Amino acid sequence: MDQARFVYIKATEGSTFEDPWFDRHWNSAHSVGIACGAYHFFRSNRPGKAQADNIVQHVLHDARCGAGDLPVAIDIEELKSVDITSPASIKAFLNELDACAAAVTGAMGAKPVIYTAGYVWQALGYPANCADSPLWIGQLSTAAAPHLPKPFTQWAMWQYSSTGRLAGVTGDVDLDRFNGSEDDFQALRLK
């Protein structure tokens, strides 16, 4: 593959971490005309509002992500602090996720993209939380389309490989597909 059409770049994690490479990667991708989005790695042991504050401060308020960029994505795959056998523990986690998503939506003016994998959503009991947000499904596969976790009925992006190659990038990169037309892609971008 010679050129990427869009890229998501890790920006933040938990309530305090900011990726030290974010600015360099963000500016480099922008400089060659690639549509950019920032992603936040959601930590199960940190309050959702504090995580949203981290995203808002370092991605939205520092004038990094704005009109023409892709919405911030919240990466939900780490469940170390969630007892998946306990409905109360799952509910507490989902409440924190909701708090984070709501605060990011308010600051960004658009719903965040939700990145997750089917096994994660299954472990959480297939919650309806965030089902109205664009889904970026992580499912490494050569299939024609990903299998969607309930209750999602469509996907916006699909990470289908973690061993791709891209001109200008050393080493493996994740490869993703966008599900939709050019008009759909433009509609997803921030206004």
Range(s) of the domain holding residue 35: 6-188
Rounded CA separation 65/94 (Å): 26
User: CATH code at 12?
Assistant: 3.20.20.80
User: How many structural domains is the chain composed of?
Assistant: 1
Is 74 a member of any domain?
yes
Is 44 a member of any domain?
yes
- Average of pLDDT values for 2-24? 93
Is 148 a member of any domain?
yes
- Average of pLDDT values for 23-49? 96
Is 127 a member of any domain?
yes
Is 1 a member of any domain?
no
The sign of the torsion formed by the CA atoms of 188, 5, 129, 46 equals negative
Is 17 a member of any domain?
yes
For the stretch 69-105, pLDDT in tens is 999 999 999 999 999 999 999 999 999 999 999 999 9
pLDDT of residue 119: 96
CA dist list (Å): 84 to 30, 44, 100: 40, 12, 20
pLDDT of residue 168: 78
Residue type, 80: K
pTM as predicted: 0.96
- Average of pLDDT values for 119-125? 96
